[in-house]
Amino acid sequence: MTFQSIIDEIDNNLKKILEGFSISNLNFSVEVAKPGFGDVSSNISFLLAKELKKSPKDIAQILSEKYSQCTSTLVLKSEAHPSGYLNFFADWTKLSELILSESYLDTYGDVDIGNNSNIIVEHTSVNPNKALHIGHIRNIVVGDIVSRILSKANYKVNVLNYIDDSGLQVADIIVGFKHLGFSEEPPNGKKFDHYCGDDVYVKTTQKYELDSTLEDVRKNTLKELEDGDSETAAFGDVITRKVLASQLETCWNLNVAYDCLNFESQIIRSGLWTKIFEKLKEMNLIEFENDGKNVGCWVIRGDGKEEDKVIVRSNGTATYIAKDIPYAAWKLGLLADPFYYQKYDSLQPNSKILWQTTLNDIDTVPQNFTAQKVVTVIDSRQERLQKIITTLMEKFNSIPNSYIHLGYESVTLSSETAKTLGLDTDGKQAQMSGRKGLYVSADSVCELLKQKIIEETKKRHPEMNDDEIEKIAQSVSIGTLRYEMIKQDLDKIITFDLAKSLSLEGDTAPYIQYAYARASRILEKSGDTPTINVDFSLLQEKSELELIKIVGLFNLQVRDAANNFSPKVISRYCHDLAVAFNSFYEHVKVLESDNDDLKSSRICLVNSFNLTLEKALGLLGIDAPHRM
């Protein structure tokens, strides 16, 4: 058990005391105390004040006296604070033993929210016509971390990546290759996704403005692309898969893995749309317009003041949002699965098998990637469309909250960084644009960070060989980037500044990783194998108890993060752990103690910290390096 044990003990005892007053259903809190107010606090006296017609202070006094008669195993004493709070002090010898012992288990921090049920997390879903930029990284990292947290919370998680390989953006690069003379081979060995995005896509888009006859070429290309049997479609398939392969390299480099790739072109050809269209008509969720501005279209009625949304155009073709409806329904298992599954050609770095959908039953293995709960990570600019999908899904399966749109604010460029890309924004931040070529690519940021960290590491370890430095720089650079993408709340815009992103001090991943490296060196130098067979009563320093307390909060934090799909909760927890350790490190010497028993107890604590931090960082997809 963890810190939760003492909270539970107090909660139970207080409930018993309330029974004595014949009071039930009082929703009082029992929570970790603020520093300086004991270990656990309750607001119970405030809630009783009206009923008992006494001041909170007096009630706290009475409760404190009553509490001293309760059976306590982990509570040393309770205290009525003049403010009215009821504060509790832990018997740290017992609590330390509980927390530290449990922290040595592999399952430490596990909570059961999912009850081993299936859940889908969809993220990334970047158009396969360009390289990933810094804005996509936020999506990818948020999705990846949410999936890791949900696994820890006892969900069976499948991660999907939706490949939109049939839209206008794809038609655009095909126009570039087929009609504007762009070579299929990138110059100077440039990565294929960068070549398509920086050169083919941007320049093709520019030419549309100069040559209006290209608009017809573009439309025809799109039409051919959507006809699955055409040569253009086959060519498009080759190109988008090459881009996808390049993009996946970037994702894998970020410590991200998937379970299945879903291709939009296959969803279109599978006939899922026809089925869902019929269902929508049957359930009267869409209506045919006989007059008005949307005459001849099938629409979803707007909610309240919102405009109606066209689902099928007057020419009979489906709109962008329409394509998302069958996909959402498929994810929730509301439609018979039309797909077969085969392994993707390349292996993922974590050696997890990556599947992909196919419509041909050759070399396939049955798989099930549906779930009763689906989390879709998409930019909050798509909130309106996602809300329509959410509402439809609820009407289909009558299960509330089964389709969850996890939105997040966008990443913009600082005016300084925009300027380095040739855009003067007059001091304002700038929205990125793939079409205009205004973006900072994920690969370039990773590389820049890595080079800086290689330098920093060399300074500190002149003797270290290049392989080891490279490995450390990889861990620290990816950690830094991932941490920056999730340390603030999802509803905050991230203004990305190239220069500031290279900072490695303060509230950053390197700060946290550094605490881990320090602890690792202590353990290494001690020469002992850490054990939990130690005298816990010897750990009495304030900084020791504070560290134990925070280690003991791990599962509470995982629960919070999982319930709220909030990666930030874990990043803050990692930071708290590191701060507590650094304070411990400053105040207490582990290896220099004359007392061998005390030394063993402290080594036990240092190892407990390391094990817990490693697991917590693992939830963030950040490595814990022994040296850096």
Partner RNA sequence: GGACACGUGGCUCAGCUUGGAUAGAGCAAGCGCUUGCGGAGUGCUAGGUCGUCGGUUCAAAUCCGAUCGUGCCCGCCA
Q: Binders of RNA among 149-208, rule CB under 7 A?
A: 164, 167-169
Using CB under 7 A, which residues numbered 417 to 446 contact RNA? 428, 431
Q: Which of residues 236-295 bind RNA (CB under 7 A)?
A: 293-295
H helix runs in 227-369, sequence order: 231-253, 264-269, 272-282, 320-331
Structure tokens at 7: 């909270």
Element holding 449 (H helix, E strand): helix 442-460
Q: Could you say which of 12, 117, 314, 368 contacts RNA (CB under 7 A)?
A: 314
Looking at the DSSP bridge assignments, the partners of residue 496 are: 413
Toward RNA, which CB reaches closer, 27 or 116?
27
Smaller CB separation from RNA, 251 or 509: 509
Longest dimension (CA), the chain: 90
Alpha helices in 359-441 (DSSP H): 383-397, 415-420
Between 145 and 257, CB nearer to RNA = 145
Is residue 476 close enough to count as binding RNA by CB under 7 A? yes
**Residue 434 C-beta: closest distance to RNA, Å:** 11
Q: Is 460 in the site for RNA (CB under 7 A)?
A: yes
Give 158 or 161: the residue with its C-beta nearer to RNA.
161
Residue type for position 360: N
Q: Which is nearer to RNA, 119 or 547 (CB)?
A: 547
- Nearest distance, CB of residue 457 and RNA, angstroms: 4
Stretch that binds RNA, among 4-12, 368-376, 389-397, 502-510 (CB under 7 A): 502-510
Among 64, 96, 557, 582, binds RNA (CB under 7 A): 582
Q: Residues 108 to 127: which contact RNA by CB under 7 A?
A: 127
- The answer to whether 628 and 519 are in contact (CB under 8 A) is no
Closest CA to 82 of 58, 49, 53: 58
- For residue 297, the minimal CB distance to RNA (Å) is 5
Q: What is the rounded CA–CA span in Å between residue 113 and residue 559?
A: 8
Decide: helix, strand or coil at residue 40: strand
**What minimum distance in Å lies between the beta carbon of 93 and RNA?**
22
> In terms of CB distance, is 502 or 532 closer to RNA?
502
- The closest alpha carbon to 238, from 196, 301, 278, 187, belongs to 196
In 3D space, the residue among 353, 397, 340 whose CA is nearest the CA of residue 371 turns out to be: 397
d(CA 504, CA 577): 18
* Cα atoms found within 13 Å of the Cα of residue 151, Cβ hemisphere only: 17
Judged by CB under 7 A, does residue 343 bind RNA?
no
Q: Which member of 372, 488, 531, 595 binds RNA (CB under 7 A)?
A: 488
User: How far is residue 285's CA from residue 112's CA, in Å, rounded to a whole number?
Assistant: 37
Which residues, 538 to 567, sit near RNA by CB under 7 A?
560, 564
- From residue 509 to residue 538, the character string flagging contacts with RNA as x (rule: CB under 7 A) and all else as - is -xx--x--xx--xx--x-------------
Smallest separation, CB 63 to RNA (Å)? 14
Find the part of the chain contacting RNA (CB under 7 A) among 62-70, 179-187, 333-341, 490-498. Answer: 490-498
Cα separation of 437 and 132, whole Å?
12
Tokens 């507590």, residue located: 580
Q: At its nearest, how many Å lie between RNA and the CB of residue 351?
A: 28
What distance in Å separates the CA atoms of residue 28 and residue 25, rounded to the nearest whole number?
9
Q: Which residue has the tokens 């600082």?
A: 414
Select from 100-108, 253-261, 316-324, 329-337 the region that touches RNA (CB under 7 A): 316-324
621 in contact with RNA (CB under 7 A): no
Count of alpha carbons within 13 Å of 373, Cβ hemisphere only?
16
CB of 76 to RNA, least distance (A): 16
* CA 322 – CA 313 distance, rounded (Å): 10
Distance CA 579, CA 585 (A): 10
Which residues lie closer than 8 Å to 238 by C-beta, 6 or more apart? none
Which range, of 79-87, 201-209, 418-426, 437-445, touches RNA by CB under 7 A?
79-87
Among 9, 84, 243, 329, binds RNA (CB under 7 A): 84
Residue among 503, 528, 535, 618 that touches RNA (CB under 7 A):
503
CA atoms of 618 and 183, how far apart (whole Å): 42
Cβ 275 to RNA shortest distance, Å: 20
Rounded CA-CA distance 123/125 in Å is 6
Q: Write out the binding residues for RNA, residues 346-385 only, by CB under 7 A.
A: 380-385
**Minimum distance of RNA from residue 583's CB (angstroms):** 5
Of residues 169 and 610, the one with the C-beta less far from RNA:
169
Q: Which of 507, 528, 535, 614 binds RNA (CB under 7 A)?
A: 507
Window 17 to 76, contacts with RNA (CB under 7 A): 29, 33-38, 41, 43, 46-47, 49-50, 56
- The DSSP output letter for 496 is E
Cα separation, 143 vs 85, in Å, equals 40
Comparing CB distances to RNA, the nearer of 36 and 187 is: 36
